[in-house]
Amino acid sequence: MKAARWVDAGRMVCEDVPVPPVAEGEILVRTAYASVCGSDLHVVYGSAPPRPEAPGFPGHESVGEVVESRCPGFEPGDHVLTVPFAADGRCLAEFQAIPGAACLPLPDTAPLSHLLMAQQLGTVVYALRCGPLDLVGKDIAVIGQGSAGAFFTFLLKRAGAARVLVSDKSPARLAYSRRLGADLAVDAGRGDFRSAVLAVTGGRGTDLVVEAVGSRETFPLSLELAAPGGTLVWFGLPEGDDDYPFSFPQFFRRGLTAYSNFGAQGEPGLVSFRHAVRLITDGAIDVAPLLSHMLPIEQVGEAFGIARDRGDNALKVSIKF
């Protein structure tokens, strides 16, 4: 089979490797589509692999067809969404052996390429479900409008937020966010998001701030955008293992609350992913614009480069098999 392999810092290649065996409790999935997640970029561009990595790593967002099942509830011919923990992801491969517990059966009422977006959407649904957030009538800022940030924009407006104010450096991403309901979309490469938020809110800031990037550049901004008594959601994956700059005096004196969130893959019943699938199949959200770049597995190195650089108005870079 064809499979991607992470061979060095910033370098992904396509190789011919054996199809993996299927253990008890697993299913063998013929991958149809996979996506490059921001966390994949952190892994691949953050360092060289500490050891030879398995084919298909670090991809963990995919859809495909069951070709062999050793797990009750799945039969050959079923279409599934794969939602393994990122460390266990092997989806950048033509075939993947994966525990049935990390898969979700899919309906045939939406294109598989669209249902691929349910993986990222499900993680955002989970983040909002886990937090005791008061959203109705609130002003909210979202830093970053990659697929996760855009899905926050959609869900926050759907939950009754008064205004959702967003920023990103990609005009294409900002345009998509406006379609999802963003009330203000600031190009962070040209404008000052903090000044824009304070101007809109009369100098107060927003009741909730979502940091959906995870970079050292954007993390401190989350404190600066929050109104006194506000809440911070730190969703973006951190860069590396070094500490981030953080003003505890500012955090303390303004009475802020913060939480981070991950682990939707371990949710009993995969409830949040199921809800994400329904949002897409019911037409509540149009994910088609996210399918901006679809490259064959043989061009996986180029796909990662486009995803990293956001070249050619890239929204979400995906792989087809």
Bridge partners of 27, per DSSP, are 69, 98
Please list, in sequence order, all residues whose beta carbon lies within 8 angstroms of the beta carbon of residue 162, skipping any fewer than 6 positions away. 137, 138, 139
Same domain flag for 168 and 54 = no
Total domains in the chain come to 2
* Helix, coil or strand: residue 157: helix
Q: Which of 260, 282, 303 is the last residue of a domain?
A: 260
pLDDT at res. 213: 94
- Decide: helix, strand or coil at residue 317: strand
Q: What is the pTM of this model?
A: 0.95
254 shares a domain with 304 = no
DSSP codes joined into one string, 160-224: T-SEEEEEES-HHHHHHHHHTT-SEEEETTTS-HHHHHHHHTTTS-EEEEEE-S--TTTHHHHHH
pLDDT of residue 75: 97
Q: Which pLDDT belongs to residue 249? A: 95
> Could you give the 3-state DSSP secondary structure of residue 3?
strand
Residue 182: predicted pLDDT: 98
In a domain, 160, yes or no: yes
* Shared-domain flag, residues 57 and 171: no
In a domain, 309, yes or no: yes
Tell me if 126 is assigned to some domain.
Answer: no
Torsion region of 313: left, alpha or beta (phi above 0 gives left; psi -120 to 50 gives alpha): left
Q: Which among 260, 294, 310 is the end of a domain?
A: 260
The pLDDT assigned to 279 comes to 98
The answer to whether the CB of 7 falls within 8 A of the CB of 13 is yes
State whether 167 and 113 are in the same domain.
no
Please indicate, yes or no, if residue 53 is contained in any of the structural domains. yes
Q: Are residues 140 and 113 in the same domain?
A: no
Q: Are residues 165 and 137 in the same domain?
A: yes
d(CA 29, CA 50): 27
Within a domain: residue 32? yes
Q: Which pLDDT score, from 0 to 100, does residue 111 have?
A: 97
In a domain, 210, yes or no: yes
Q: What is the CATH number of the domain that holds 53?
A: 3.90.180.10
Question: Does an H or E element contain 2, and which?
Answer: strand 2-8
Output the pLDDT for position 185. 98
Same domain (yes/no): 197, 218? yes
Can you give the residue range of the structural domain that contains 252? 132-260
pLDDT value at residue 313: 87
Q: Are residues 175 and 216 in the same domain?
A: yes
Q: Which of 235, 260, 285 is the last residue of a domain?
A: 260
SS3 (DSSP) at 34: strand
- Kindly state whether residues 275 and 256 are assigned to the same domain: no
Going residue by residue through the chain, which has 321 residues, state the pLDDT in tens, using 9 for 90 and above.
999 999 999 999 999 999 999 999 999 999 999 999 999 998 999 888 888 889 999 999 999 999 999 999 999 999 999 999 999 999 999 999 999 999 999 999 999 999 999 999 999 999 999 887 889 999 999 999 999 999 999 999 999 999 999 999 999 999 999 999 999 999 999 999 999 999 999 999 999 999 999 999 999 999 999 999 999 999 998 988 889 988 999 999 999 999 998 899 999 999 999 999 999 999 999 999 999 999 999 999 999 999 999 877 899 999 999
**127 occurs within a structural domain:** no
Q: Which of 110, 40, 51, 42 is nearest to 79 (CA)?
A: 110
Instruction: Evaluate whether 85 touches 119 at the Cβ level (below 8 Å).
Output: no
